[in-house]
Amino acid sequence: MTSIDLPDNPVDLARLQDAVAEKLARVSLDGLSNRELLDVVQDVERSHRRNVGVDARLFVEVSERGAHRDVGSPYPQHYLQHHLRLSAGENRRRRDAAAGLIPMFTFTGEKLDSPLPATAAAVADGDLSLEHVTEIVAMVENIPAAIPAEDKARAEAQLAEVARTLTPEGTRTAGKRILAHLDPDGELTDDADRARTRGVTLAPQDRRLMSAISARLTPAVRAKLEALLVLWAAPGMNNPDDPQSPSGAATAVDPAALAVARERDTRTQAQRNHDALDAMWTVLLETGGLGESTGLPAHLVVTASLGDLESRSGVAVTATGTRVPVKDLVEIAADATPWLEVFGDASSQVLYLGRGKRLASLPQRLALFGRDRGCTAPGCTVPWSRTQAHHMPDWADGGPTDIDHLGGACGGHNRIVSTRPGGWETTIVEVGPFAGWVGWRPTGSNQPWQVNHALQPEKALPERAARTTESGSAVEKWLGCRLPSPPPRPPVPEGTDVVRDPA
């Protein structure tokens, strides 16, 4: 291999690396022998793996300096996701890798040892990928707190060494065996370990609008769930395919009716579990057991096109971002009486409060949900249920609590709005194809206003807009047009739970 004098400046090195990758992508491979081709593949892969450590070091440096704030990101993970456009999963993996590979500093400036020194060495050698590191981090996190520190270090070193010759899947298997050796009977795992690893994850909807759930339940939560499923998921109970199926818990139904329904029940146990959860959550919604919120009511809140409701077609969207077929929505509305936002031509709600009230009212939040669907910051996917009503201009700067001066923003994006350099400024876009959308740009810049397509991609589809115009449905008329100041309107009567489009 030819010796190359490389620059010491990180900027020059990064640009050289990019230039090499660009050249390698265009150079002909025709003259290589098979052996040479495989050598190139191996060298490039080694470079990829060494870059795992480079990425980790850069992440820590950006974090410790707070450099992410220079581009309007409130924290490093936000920078990775919204400026480098990494997925949430890749963001998490890089953050975990940085925490494990790179030495940190105490508040007094003392440099700590690397949490995973053997793993860091293997990455530097180009032997481990980011997926390998993720598996090692997961194994170390699952070591019970009662295991001595020297045994934890030995376990990390052993797994990092064997991972040099294993796939990520093989590394995961080896990690499980090491955990089993450290705590073969599970006796060292305590409540703190279980609480640290508890969780329920709801995966994104697939193309069929179905969702997968993965969970790690504490023993107490599992016991409660099993007790409920025994009563609610019994054969014959809560069967949506059987109109005569008893609903609720098995203890409160006629045994004879349940026996007959059981004979008709052809569902699997998994399907009965699903239908039991559906029935329990429906009861919870109907009885108001979720309570009330100062923002949106803690009930099912759905926005849908009036035309789609009339034709029983299309897809509605909930405040948590879930897409529900309108046919199913009609059934939900009959059972749970959700807040259903239907867009018409007028509004009986008071949506302009001026300076008389700082916090957005429930009618305003419902109307904003129909327009914004969630956080309006470019690229953000936080659904409306986790947003705040953001003032434009800010309330402290004299902004009114009026529907045409409000927009959805998650907590992180709401905090980066500032009149100072390094922050972001927002407005309602007045002209162009996205008139009425909330626009964002760096404070004081002349850059074009950026809008968020992540939550409403259908509005950017020409065929969708054409179908909408033909249907004549008010919600399908690019809802985000500039909201005019209407004449004073009377308050909505108590008990009304339908909010109409203020446009």
Predicted confidence at residue 491, as pLDDT, reads 42
Predicted confidence at residue 23, as pLDDT, reads 94
Predicted confidence at residue 405, as pLDDT, reads 85
The label of the residue with tokens 């900027």 reads 11
358 vs 163, residue with greater confidence: 163
How many other C-beta atoms lie within 10 A of the C-beta of residue 268? Answer: 8
Strand ranges (E), 198-335: 199-202, 213-216, 301-304, 315-318, 323-325
Q: Are 378 and 426 in contact (CB under 8 A)?
A: no
The pLDDT of residue 380 is above 50: yes
Least confident residue range of 148-157, 243-252, 333-342, 449-458: 333-342
Comparing CA positions, the residue from 243, 278, 279, 233 lying closest to residue 264 is 243
The pLDDT of residue 18 is above 90: yes
The pLDDT of residue 47 is above 90: yes
Mean pLDDT across the stretch 30-41? 94
479 vs 383, residue with greater confidence: 383
- Look up residue 460 and give its two tokens: 């950017």
29 vs 483, residue with greater confidence: 29
The pLDDT of residue 180 is above 70: yes
Compute the distance between CA of residue 83 and CA of residue 112 in angstroms, rounded to an integer.
30
Q: Are 366 and 415 in contact (CB under 8 A)?
A: no
488 vs 232, residue with greater confidence: 232
Return the domain boundaries, the chain.
Answer: 33-196, 213-279, 362-476
The pLDDT confidence band at residue 456, using thresholds 50, 70 and 90, is: confident
Predicted confidence at residue 169, as pLDDT, reads 93
The pLDDT of residue 267 is above 70: yes
Predicted confidence at residue 433, as pLDDT, reads 80
CA 353 centroid distance within chain: 32
Mean pLDDT across the stretch 350-363? 67
Render pLDDT for 302-326 as a digit per residue (tens, 0 to 9).
666 556 655 666 666 776 677 777 6
Render pLDDT for 419-430 as a digit per residue (tens, 0 to 9).
888 788 998 888
The pLDDT confidence band at residue 345, using thresholds 50, 70 and 90, is: very low
486 vs 264, residue with greater confidence: 264
365 vs 273, residue with greater confidence: 273
How many other C-beta atoms lie within 10 A of the C-beta of residue 189? Answer: 18
Render pLDDT for 181-203 as a digit per residue (tens, 0 to 9).
888 877 777 778 788 888 998 88
The pLDDT of residue 469 is above 50: no
Predicted confidence at residue 354, as pLDDT, reads 63
Predicted confidence at residue 275, as pLDDT, reads 94
The pLDDT confidence band at residue 250, using thresholds 50, 70 and 90, is: confident
Predicted confidence at residue 59, as pLDDT, reads 93
